Amino acid sequence: MPFLGPGESHLTVKACFNKSGAVDQKAQNDGQLFDLVARYMNTQRVVGWFQGRMEFCPRALGNRSILADPGSPDMQDILNYKIKFRKSFRPFAPVVLSDRTQEFCELDPLSPYMLFATPLRGSGSEADAVSSFPAVTHVDGSARIQTVSEAENPRLFRLLEHFEQVTGCSILVNTSFNVRGEPMVYTADDAYRCFMKSGIDVLVVEQFVPEKTEQPLFEHMPGITRTRNSVWQRLHLIWLAATYPIRWLLSKLVLSLILLLVVTPIGYGARTLNRLSTGTRRDNPGSYWKTRFKPTDYPGYFKQY
Residue 181 falls in which region: left (phi positive, over 0), alpha (psi -120 to 50) or beta: left
What is the structure's pLDDT at 131?
64
What is the structure's pLDDT at 269?
82
What is the structure's pLDDT at 187?
93
In single-letter form, the type of residue at position 95 comes to V
What is the structure's pLDDT at 159?
97
What is the structure's pLDDT at 267?
81
Q: Tell me where in the chain the CATH 3.90.870.20 domain(s) lie.
A: 10-227
Q: How many CB atoms lie within 10 A of CB 170?
A: 19
Among 101, 205, 115, 108, smallest CA distance to 149 is for 101
Taking the C-alpha atoms of residue 26 and residue 244, their distance in angstroms, rounded to an integer, is 41
What is the structure's pLDDT at 227?
42
CATH architecture of the domain covering 10-227: Alpha-Beta Complex (3.90)
What is the structure's pLDDT at 223?
40
- pTM, two decimals, is 0.68
* Three-class secondary structure of residue 73 per DSSP: coil
pLDDT digits (tens, 9 = 90+) for 207-216: 999 999 888 7
**Cα–Cα distances in angstroms (integers) from residue 58 to residues 61, 64, 176, in the given order:** 9, 12, 10
Contacts of residue 218, defined as CB under 8 A and 6 or more positions apart, other chains included, come to 20, 196, 225, 226
Ranges of residues in the chain whose predicted pLDDT is under 50? 123-124, 219-229, 288-289, 305
pLDDT digits (tens, 9 = 90+) for 101-122: 888 887 777 889 998 888 887 6
